[in-house]
Structure 1
Amino acid sequence: MSTLVHPQANGQVESSNKIIVNNLKKRLDKKKGGWAEELSFVLLADRTTYKVATEAVIPTEVVIPTVRYLLQDHENDDKILAQDRDTIDELRDLDKICIAAHEQKIIKAYNKNIRVRRFQIGDLVLRKTFQNTKDPSAGKLAPKWEGPYLIDVEAGKGEYWLATLEGDDFPRSWNALHVKAFYM
């Protein structure tokens, strides 16, 4: 993706996209067609990875020390590394708790606007048409709903078996999201 407003950022965007694509390729070794399921995990990993530019020390700075090299505390680095190894399990547990809390917030926000449709056996309903059930010759003006049908059996939470008005059953159940009430 490139932008005309900030052309200097085009290289940064392409670099970021390259990292995401490479990480996707690594995760898709066995399941080539499942990139859509893996994308959210790769994006989460990319967004939560700590990114900071490291300072390179050129070899001459080691032989002829500069002020920058002298100010670094090399003995303390080993102590910090040992402390990080000791606390990594606790940090992982805290991260898992934060991720679970975030997922709960997302689920709560998503489910806030969902209104479950409930039907009784014998109710008249319309069924949403899909690409395989539409008349291909109808074009854009094809009806979006077909029916009416009867609710024959409640198969589960929000799932119903439909029947035609003559009593013929359909070969599978329908989710309440794809069915709406029909009033005569």
Structure 2
Amino acid sequence: MICLFKYKSFSLSRIIMQGFLNPLNIMIQRHLPNLNSLYLRQRKMMLKGFLMRFPEHLSNEKQIIQLQKRLTAMCHGQLYQQRMKKAFDKKVKPRVFREGDLVLKKVLSFVPDSRGKWTPNYEGPYVVKRAFSGGALMLTTMDGEDFTRPVNSDAVKRYFA
């Protein structure tokens, strides 16, 4: 048998050919098939060890525990959201506009004005011609001229004369 292990200019094959390592060579040749089967057995043992290390019933229990923790966290989050909604809804007053109400419309143009910070924030008063259920309003001026587009009720506040 010729080995291909090399160490600089010295190779193991020269020693084997000269007969110095014949007993070692014979032992390697005898045990080489056993080492191969040992490797295969060791792989199977490693697989068994892995399965023993992480048994299926314990991993399922861990998954169930994790899912329970996630479920309780989700329930706490939903309860918190409901409490915050309830607290917010206590403070919010519904703004309902009817036909004939006087309102002021917020100035939403971004055109710079010469008056600077003293430009008015609202213009009007306008009359609500029609109120839609989604919060949109059709407005008219006091002279009776209609707006072409509806206005969102968030950009409008009631005018008290």
Please report the TM-score for the alignment, with normalisation by the length of structure 2.
0.54
Q: CA deviation at 1:80?
A: 7.2
Superposed CA RMSD in Å reads 2.8
Contact 1:162 1:170 in 2 (8 A): yes
Residues 152, 183 of structure 1: alpha-carbon distance in 2 compared, 3 angstrom cutoff: same
> 1:39-50 residue pairs with structure 2 within 5 A?
none
Counterpart pick for 1:118 among 66, 87, 96: 96
Contact 1:153 1:160 in 2 (8 A): yes
Mapped to 1, the partners of 2:90 and 2:149 lie a distance apart of: 29
Counterpart pick for 1:167 among 139, 144, 151: 144
Question: In structure 1, the residue corresponding to 2:149 is in which secondary structure?
Answer: strand
Question: In structure 2, the residue corresponding to 1:172 is in which secondary structure?
Answer: coil
Q: CA deviation at 1:178?
A: 2.4
Residues 121, 135 of structure 1: alpha-carbon distance in 2 compared, 3 angstrom cutoff: farther
Q: CA deviation at 1:137?
A: 2.1
Question: In structure 1, the residue corresponding to 2:138 is in which secondary structure?
Answer: strand
Match of 2:83 in 1: 105
Match of 1:149 in 2: 126
Which ranges in structure 2 are unaligned for 5 or more consecutive residues? 1-51
- Higher Cα Rg: structure 1 or 2? 2
Match of 1:127 in 2: 105
Query: In structure 1, what residue type is equivalent to 2:122?
Result: W
Mapped to 2, the partners of 1:100 and 1:181 lie a distance apart of: 35
> 1:1-184 residue pairs with structure 2 within 5 A?
83-132=61-110, 136-184=113-161
Please report the TM-score for the alignment, with normalisation by the length of structure 1.
0.49
Question: In structure 2, the residue corresponding to 1:105 is in which secondary structure?
Answer: helix
Which ranges in structure 1 are unaligned for 5 or more consecutive residues? 1-74
Mapped to 2, the partners of 1:119 and 1:135 lie a distance apart of: 31
Deviation digits for residues 81-122 of structure 1 (CA, Å, limit 9, x no counterpart): 653212222222222221111111121222221112222201
Contact 1:123 1:150 in 2 (8 A): yes
Deviation digits for residues 18-38 of structure 1 (CA, Å, limit 9, x no counterpart): xxxxxxxxxxxxxxxxxxxxx
Question: In structure 1, the residue corresponding to 2:92 is in which secondary structure?
Answer: coil
Contact 1:126 1:182 in 2 (8 A): yes
Q: How many residue pairs end up in the alignment? A: 109
Q: CA deviation at 1:177?
A: 3.3
